[in-house]
Structure formats: C-alpha cells, structure tokens
Amino acid sequence: MYGWEESYKSAMLETDRSKLWERIEAAQTSIDRRLQEINAGHDSKEERLAIRDAQAGLRVLRREILPLASD
C-alpha cells in the first residue's frame, strides 16, 4: 500500500456527505505531495498508474457532490 492510499480510501468510503469534501481535499493533498516526490525521481510505474486511477476516482466524487454544494 502506498502512503497516500489511506486518505484516498477514506474519501472513497466516506458516507457522511458533510465530511466528503474534506476527505477529498485531504486525499488530493496527499497525492499531490507524493507527485512532488515522484517528480524528484522517486517513483515506480505501478504507483504512477495507481495515482492516475485515484485521481480519476476523486474527480468522480467531486462531480457527485458539486450539485450538493449549491443546495
């Protein structure tokens, strides 16, 4: 398991919509930190693919909750 995956899984499994945006942001921050490390040369192909998939999942969650933000 990669270090950023815990916060990503917390976002994906959050059922309380009032906490979901916070979880998404925490996951994105964790992924962004890891991407900075990767760009410095500390990476693996498998992790890059996992990050790409995680970012796609977070985009879906954001789209799902955006209508709720305007309510």
| Average pLDDT of the residues in 24-39 | 95
Token pair, residue 54, equals 């995680």
pTM above 0.85?
A: no
What's the pLDDT score for residue 70? 53
**What is the residue-averaged pLDDT of the chain?**
91
Token pair, residue 14, equals 């959050």
Burial class (CB in 10 A: 0-12, 13-18, 19+), 30: buried
| Average pLDDT of the residues in 37-47 | 84
Comparing C-alpha atoms, which of 19, 29, 17 is closest to residue 55?
29
What's the pLDDT score for residue 69? 56
Does 21 score more than 90 pLDDT?
A: yes
